[in-house]
Amino acid sequence: MANNHTAGAAARTFAPSELCQRMLAKTSKGTCGPCILYLEDGTIFYGRACGAEGTATGEVCFNTSLEGYFEVMTDPSYAGQIVTMTYPQIGNYGIDETDVQSAFPGDAVRPASAPAMRGMIVRDMCTTPSNWRSAVSVPEYLRAHGIVAIEGVDTRALVRHLRDNGSKMGIISTEIFDVDELAERLAAAPTLVGENLVKTVSCPAPHEFVAADLPATHDFALSAAAPARHKVVAYDCGVKRGILEGLVRAGCDLTVVPWDTPASEVLDMNPDGVFLSNGPGDPDAVVETYEQVQQLIGKVPVFGICLGHQMISLACGAQMEKLKFGHRGGNQPVMNLVSRRVEITAQNHGFGLLFPSLGKLVPELSGGETEHAADGDLRVWVRRGIAPVVMNERFGRIRLTHVNLNDGTAEGIQLLDAPCFSVQYHPEASPGPTDAHYLFTAFTRLMDGEENYLDIDTAKDRLAGWNFAETAATETEEN
């Protein structure tokens, strides 16, 4: 890491020597040019190009997952961002494009597998993957899709900097090394706050997603989908394909609709339930979606995740906050206040719900408490073993169901006077753990009219649908 380099010094300091290039050419890395990462506070990191040539701007964030880099790369929720992977080596098992997470059906302008992220930062990029499913390396994929990437960066130092100072806008380039020009380009780039990125990743028209759309290449690990018995309309705010697959495997036939589809059109489809997907950016900027959600709540069962959780919260009149550096990764601990179990969850968001903004506490349902904690840390409810309830002006009683154990922020709510619930994290393993799979089951139970639809043995449900679980059960019975 370096600071305050002069215009020409950066290029002269980092340009690889002829000897260095000859040495690299003899390795699996091959020849590669210089690359630079410049943050809005003047912090500079130098490295080597490991993706497409060019320049990209975006919010620099970090993901703490140990695997699943391809699913991260193709998650539409990363629109507008430059993603730092904290795991030191990326690309060692290559890419199978059937694992792509973009659910966009694709067209002549935008391929179905096109990543939404702006750039990528890694410590070490593997150019020679080894895995029986791999069809292409990460650098080849990045170059094919025009994504600028940098390796050789001290990602530990970068992540510490972001944790200490908060998320930063950044610019990554293989062609510009003049610090003043980088700063000028970055200053002119749009920020995430106030920008509607959802409209850039949502599908352009309604389309079906059913059991026949499940990838056959996953049959070695996953069981066949449950028989379809629920008709669900899914708002595509940048939905991950793995989420749609999870709903289908739980027994849902899906009609996926654009982010701004009017509530009246959705209700005319006579669905058993409505699903609100994950998506990128600032939830306050997605006005067209949460205004529709406000008209749907109470008329049809509703389930939201990630941005969908924020859409439900905004429909209830809540306030959002921009988190210091967000939650991104497959190892985020969350306390389920209903089951009293800790879930290890997959998350990807930079904004969160301010739970007190939903309403005043109902003392008789909140352990006698009448005031929210002054510091806003919701872990007080974890320690007390209480799922508090507030009285909302629009939709009545709302219960806090999930709390992040790292920072005490809200991770889930349940409307007690309307069939509606939501979580801030992702309930599928693409990538990530399976602890939250029960949420798909809970949604089907809600559509079935079960009153205690969240009362589920989460430890047992987490194995549902996996071949290895069925094999293990058979072997146990035989022994």
Q: Tell whether 307 is in a known binding site.
A: yes
- Looking at 40, 71, 343, 428, which residue is catalytic? 428
Q: Tell whether 251 is in a known binding site.
A: no
- Looking at 50, 252, 306, 316, which residue is catalytic? 306
Q: Is 195 part of the annotated catalytic residue set?
A: no
- Looking at 161, 230, 426, 437, which residue is catalytic? 426
Q: Is 426 part of the annotated catalytic residue set?
A: yes
Q: Is 428 part of the annotated catalytic residue set?
A: yes
Q: Tell whether 279 is in a known binding site.
A: yes
Q: Tell whether 351 is in a known binding site.
A: yes
Q: Tell whether 310 is in a known binding site.
A: yes
Q: Tell whether 165 is in a known binding site.
A: no
Task: State the SS3 of the chain.
Answer: CEECCCHHHHHHHHCCCHHHHHHHHCCCCCCCCEEEEEECCCEEEEEEECCCCCEEEEEEEEECCCCCHHHHHCCHHHCCEEEEECCCEECCCCECHHHCCECCCCCCCCCCCCCCCCEEECCEECCCCCCCCCCECHHHHHHHCCCEEEECCCHHHHHHHHHHHCCEEEEEECCCCCHHHHHHHHHHCCCCCCCCCHHHCCCCCCEEECHHHCCHHHCCCECCCCCCCEEEEEEECCCEHHHHHHHHHCCEEEEEEECCCCHHHHHHCCCCEEEECCCCCCHHHCHHHHHHHHHHCCCCCEEEECHHHHHHHHHCCCEEEEEEEEEEEEEEEEEECCCCEEEEEEEEEEEEEEHHHHCEECHHHCCCCCCCCCCCCCHHHHHHCCCCEEEECCCEEEEEEEEECCCCCEEEEEECCCCEEEECCECCCCCCCCHHHHHHHHHHHHHCCCCCCCCCCHHHHCCCCEHHHHHHHHHHHHC
Question: Which residues are known catalytic residues?
Answer: 306, 426, 428
Q: Which residues are annotated as a binding site for L-glutamine?
A: 77, 279, 281, 307, 310, 348, 350-351
Q: Which residues are annotated as a binding site?
A: 77, 279, 281, 307, 310, 348, 350-351
